[in-house]
Chains A and B, each alone.
Chain A
Protein backbone atom coordinates (compact mmCIF):
# COMPACT_ATOMS: atom_id res chain seq x y z
CA UNK A 1 0.00 0.00 0.00
CA UNK A 2 0.93 3.66 0.08
CA UNK A 3 3.82 4.52 2.35
CA UNK A 4 5.51 7.64 3.70
CA UNK A 5 8.88 7.30 5.39
CA UNK A 6 10.21 10.12 7.56
CA UNK A 7 13.74 10.74 8.88
CA UNK A 8 15.19 11.38 11.35
CA UNK A 9 12.95 10.25 14.19
CA UNK A 10 14.66 12.66 16.59
CA UNK A 11 16.64 15.81 15.89
CA UNK A 12 18.38 18.17 18.30
CA UNK A 13 19.75 21.52 17.15
CA UNK A 14 21.16 24.59 18.85
CA UNK A 15 18.99 27.67 18.89
CA UNK A 16 19.65 29.69 15.75
CA UNK A 17 20.77 26.70 13.69
CA UNK A 18 18.77 25.16 10.85
CA UNK A 19 16.80 21.91 10.96
CA UNK A 20 15.94 19.65 8.04
CA UNK A 21 13.44 16.78 8.06
CA UNK A 22 13.06 14.49 5.06
CA UNK A 23 10.25 12.30 3.78
CA UNK A 24 9.93 9.87 0.91
CA UNK A 25 6.70 8.60 -0.60
CA UNK A 26 5.78 5.59 -2.67
CA UNK A 27 3.10 6.76 -5.13
CA UNK A 28 4.52 8.83 -7.97
CA UNK A 29 1.03 10.21 -8.65
CA UNK A 30 0.81 11.87 -5.23
CA UNK A 31 -0.07 15.54 -5.60
CA UNK A 32 -0.20 17.20 -2.18
CA UNK A 33 2.32 17.24 0.67
CA UNK A 34 1.49 19.01 3.96
CA UNK A 35 3.56 19.32 7.11
CA UNK A 36 2.01 19.33 10.58
CA UNK A 37 3.47 20.46 13.90
CA UNK A 38 2.24 18.78 17.06
CA UNK A 39 3.14 20.13 20.46
CA UNK A 40 2.83 17.83 23.45
CA UNK A 41 -0.80 17.07 24.20
CA UNK A 42 -2.11 19.28 21.41
CA UNK A 43 -3.66 18.80 17.99
CA UNK A 44 -1.53 18.52 14.86
CA UNK A 45 -1.49 21.92 13.17
CA UNK A 46 -0.82 22.55 9.50
CA UNK A 47 2.28 24.73 9.14
CA UNK A 48 3.02 24.57 5.43
CA UNK A 49 2.04 22.55 2.38
CA UNK A 50 3.14 22.11 -1.20
CA UNK A 51 1.46 20.81 -4.31
CA UNK A 52 3.07 18.72 -6.99
CA UNK A 53 3.23 21.53 -9.53
CA UNK A 54 5.58 23.54 -7.30
CA UNK A 55 9.20 22.77 -6.37
CA UNK A 56 9.60 24.98 -3.33
CA UNK A 57 7.48 27.07 -0.99
CA UNK A 58 8.54 29.43 1.80
CA UNK A 59 6.76 31.01 4.72
CA UNK A 60 9.02 33.16 6.88
CA UNK A 61 11.45 30.75 8.61
CA UNK A 62 10.01 27.55 7.19
CA UNK A 63 10.27 26.15 3.69
CA UNK A 64 9.37 22.94 1.94
CA UNK A 65 11.05 21.49 -1.13
CA UNK A 66 9.71 18.76 -3.39
CA UNK A 67 11.64 16.49 -5.72
CA UNK A 68 9.04 14.58 -7.74
CA UNK A 69 11.61 12.53 -9.65
CA UNK A 70 13.16 11.18 -6.47
CA UNK A 71 9.78 11.10 -4.67
CA UNK A 72 10.95 13.00 -1.64
CA UNK A 73 10.16 16.27 0.09
CA UNK A 74 11.80 18.11 2.94
CA UNK A 75 10.98 20.64 5.65
CA UNK A 76 13.57 23.31 6.37
CA UNK A 77 13.42 25.49 9.48
CA UNK A 78 15.95 28.29 9.70
CA UNK A 79 16.99 30.34 12.74
CA UNK A 80 15.36 27.81 15.05
CA UNK A 81 13.84 28.97 18.32
CA UNK A 82 12.89 27.01 21.46
CA UNK A 83 9.20 27.29 20.51
CA UNK A 84 9.95 25.27 17.38
CA UNK A 85 10.43 22.24 19.64
CA UNK A 86 7.64 19.78 18.76
CA UNK A 87 6.90 16.66 16.75
CA UNK A 88 6.69 17.30 13.02
CA UNK A 89 4.74 15.03 10.69
CA UNK A 90 4.90 14.93 6.93
CA UNK A 91 2.04 13.56 4.87
CA UNK A 92 1.22 12.74 1.29
CA UNK A 93 -2.06 12.60 -0.53
CA UNK A 94 -2.02 9.66 -2.84
CA UNK A 95 -3.86 9.29 -6.11
CA UNK A 96 -7.39 8.00 -6.08
CA UNK A 97 -10.83 9.33 -5.42
CA UNK A 98 -10.69 9.23 -1.62
CA UNK A 99 -8.07 12.00 -1.40
CA UNK A 100 -6.72 10.72 1.92
CA UNK A 101 -3.52 11.71 3.65
CA UNK A 102 -0.97 9.14 4.76
CA UNK A 103 1.34 10.36 7.50
CA UNK A 104 4.97 9.74 8.27
CA UNK A 105 6.02 8.48 11.68
CA UNK A 106 7.08 11.89 12.98
CA UNK A 107 10.28 13.72 13.98
CA UNK A 108 10.80 14.97 17.51
CA UNK A 109 12.64 18.28 17.10
CA UNK A 110 14.35 19.73 20.16
CA UNK A 111 15.85 23.21 19.97
CA UNK A 112 18.45 23.67 22.68
CA UNK A 113 18.83 27.19 24.15
Chain B
Protein backbone atom coordinates (compact mmCIF):
# COMPACT_ATOMS: atom_id res chain seq x y z
CA UNK B 1 0.00 0.00 0.00
CA UNK B 2 1.42 3.40 -0.97
CA UNK B 3 1.94 5.78 1.89
CA UNK B 4 1.28 9.48 2.34
CA UNK B 5 3.34 11.42 -0.20
CA UNK B 6 4.72 14.89 0.50
CA UNK B 7 6.87 17.33 -1.40
CA UNK B 8 9.24 19.03 -1.32
CA UNK B 9 11.36 17.19 1.22
CA UNK B 10 13.34 20.29 2.18
CA UNK B 11 12.82 24.01 1.65
CA UNK B 12 14.97 26.97 2.61
CA UNK B 13 13.53 30.47 2.27
CA UNK B 14 14.12 33.92 3.66
CA UNK B 15 11.68 35.55 6.04
CA UNK B 16 8.78 37.32 4.37
CA UNK B 17 8.94 34.97 1.39
CA UNK B 18 6.13 32.55 0.59
CA UNK B 19 6.24 28.76 0.42
CA UNK B 20 3.84 25.94 -0.44
CA UNK B 21 3.78 22.29 0.53
CA UNK B 22 1.94 19.48 -1.22
CA UNK B 23 0.41 16.28 0.16
CA UNK B 24 -1.19 13.24 -1.42
CA UNK B 25 -2.90 11.02 1.17
CA UNK B 26 -3.32 7.27 1.15
CA UNK B 27 -5.92 6.25 -1.41
CA UNK B 28 -9.37 6.12 0.13
CA UNK B 29 -8.51 8.14 3.21
CA UNK B 30 -11.17 10.80 3.61
CA UNK B 31 -9.48 12.66 6.45
CA UNK B 32 -6.31 14.69 5.95
CA UNK B 33 -4.31 16.57 8.56
CA UNK B 34 -1.47 19.06 8.50
CA UNK B 35 0.77 19.07 11.57
CA UNK B 36 3.65 21.35 12.49
CA UNK B 37 6.56 19.73 14.34
CA UNK B 38 9.07 22.11 15.86
CA UNK B 39 12.42 20.55 16.75
CA UNK B 40 12.20 18.67 20.04
CA UNK B 41 8.41 18.81 20.25
CA UNK B 42 5.47 16.63 19.34
CA UNK B 43 3.39 17.27 16.23
CA UNK B 44 0.87 20.10 16.64
CA UNK B 45 -2.29 20.07 14.57
CA UNK B 46 -2.74 22.98 12.17
CA UNK B 47 -5.79 21.93 10.16
CA UNK B 48 -8.02 18.92 9.56
CA UNK B 49 -10.00 18.20 6.38
CA UNK B 50 -12.82 15.74 5.92
CA UNK B 51 -13.02 15.19 2.15
CA UNK B 52 -12.76 18.76 0.84
CA UNK B 53 -14.26 20.47 3.88
CA UNK B 54 -12.45 21.95 6.86
CA UNK B 55 -13.26 20.20 10.16
CA UNK B 56 -10.95 22.20 12.41
CA UNK B 57 -8.57 25.05 11.68
CA UNK B 58 -8.62 26.62 15.13
CA UNK B 59 -4.83 26.37 15.53
CA UNK B 60 -3.96 27.62 12.05
CA UNK B 61 -2.42 31.13 12.06
CA UNK B 62 -4.79 32.39 9.43
CA UNK B 63 -3.06 35.71 8.93
CA UNK B 64 -0.22 33.86 7.20
CA UNK B 65 -1.16 30.21 6.74
CA UNK B 66 -3.72 28.83 4.33
CA UNK B 67 -4.62 25.33 3.20
CA UNK B 68 -6.93 23.79 0.68
CA UNK B 69 -8.10 20.39 -0.47
CA UNK B 70 -10.15 21.25 -3.50
CA UNK B 71 -11.09 17.82 -4.86
CA UNK B 72 -11.02 15.94 -1.59
CA UNK B 73 -7.71 14.22 -2.36
CA UNK B 74 -4.48 16.25 -2.61
CA UNK B 75 -3.87 19.18 -0.32
CA UNK B 76 -1.59 22.21 -0.27
CA UNK B 77 -0.44 24.24 2.72
CA UNK B 78 0.86 27.75 2.11
CA UNK B 79 2.72 30.22 4.28
CA UNK B 80 2.81 33.86 3.22
CA UNK B 81 4.78 35.69 4.50
CA UNK B 82 7.04 33.32 6.41
CA UNK B 83 8.54 34.19 9.80
CA UNK B 84 11.63 32.79 11.49
CA UNK B 85 9.45 30.89 13.98
CA UNK B 86 7.83 28.96 11.12
CA UNK B 87 10.99 26.86 10.83
CA UNK B 88 9.75 23.33 11.47
CA UNK B 89 8.83 20.06 9.83
CA UNK B 90 5.37 20.14 8.26
CA UNK B 91 3.80 16.71 8.40
CA UNK B 92 0.79 15.61 6.43
CA UNK B 93 -1.22 12.68 7.73
CA UNK B 94 -4.30 10.82 6.61
CA UNK B 95 -6.81 8.36 8.00
CA UNK B 96 -10.12 6.77 7.30
CA UNK B 97 -12.81 8.40 9.36
CA UNK B 98 -14.55 6.51 12.10
CA UNK B 99 -14.76 2.81 12.72
CA UNK B 100 -12.78 0.51 14.94
CA UNK B 101 -9.75 0.42 12.64
CA UNK B 102 -9.19 4.15 12.21
CA UNK B 103 -5.44 4.82 12.31
CA UNK B 104 -3.35 7.87 11.45
CA UNK B 105 -0.47 7.56 8.97
CA UNK B 106 2.13 10.25 8.40
CA UNK B 107 4.07 11.37 5.38
CA UNK B 108 7.83 12.00 5.53
CA UNK B 109 7.30 15.71 6.02
CA UNK B 110 8.74 18.90 4.57
CA UNK B 111 11.55 20.44 6.58
CA UNK B 112 11.26 24.22 6.32
CA UNK B 113 14.10 26.53 7.27
CA UNK B 114 13.32 30.25 7.38
CA UNK B 115 16.45 32.42 7.38
Decide: B56 and A98 in contact? CB cutoff 8 A: yes
Whether A99 is near chain B, meaning CB under 8 Å from some CB there, is yes
Which residues of chain B in 1-51 are interfacial with respect to chain A, using CB atoms and an 8 Å cutoff?
4, 31, 33, 40-45, 48
Q: From the candidates B33, B42, B91, B105, name the one contacting A105 in the complex (CB within 8 A).
A: B42
How many residues of B are counted as interface, with CB atoms below 8 angstroms from the partner's CB atoms? 24
Is A49's CB under 8 angstroms from B103's CB?
yes
Q: B42, A103: Cβ atoms under 8 Å?
A: yes
Most chain B CB within 10 A, of A36, A98, A105, is at A98
How many A-B contacts are there with CB distance less than 8 Å? Answer: 50
Contact B48–A43 (Cβ < 8 Å): no
Interface residue stretch chosen among B63-71, B74-82, B106-114: B106-114
Chain A residue nearest to B43 in the complex (CB): A103
Complex Cα distance A49/B100, Å?
12
**Chain A: interface residue count, which band?**
20 to 34
State whether A103 touches B44 (Cβ < 8 A).
yes
A43 touches B103 (CB 8 A): no
Q: Is B115 an interface residue (CB 8 A)?
A: no
Q: Which residues of A contact B104 (CB under 8 A)?
A: 34, 46, 101
Q: Give 9 nearest A-B pairs by CB, closest first.
A: A103-B42, A43-B106, A43-B108, A98-B56, A44-B106, A103-B43, A105-B42, A98-B55, A89-B42
Give the A-binding residues of B (Cβ under 8 A): 4, 31, 33, 40-45, 48, 55-56, 91, 97-98, 100, 102-109
List 9 additional A-B contacts (Cβ < 8 Å) besides A34-B104, A43-B108, A91-B42. A34-B103, A36-B106, A46-B104, A99-B31, A100-B45, A101-B104, A102-B45, A105-B40, A106-B41
Which residues from chain A sit less than 8 Å from chain B, CB to CB?
4, 6, 32, 34, 36, 42-46, 49, 51, 89, 91, 97-106
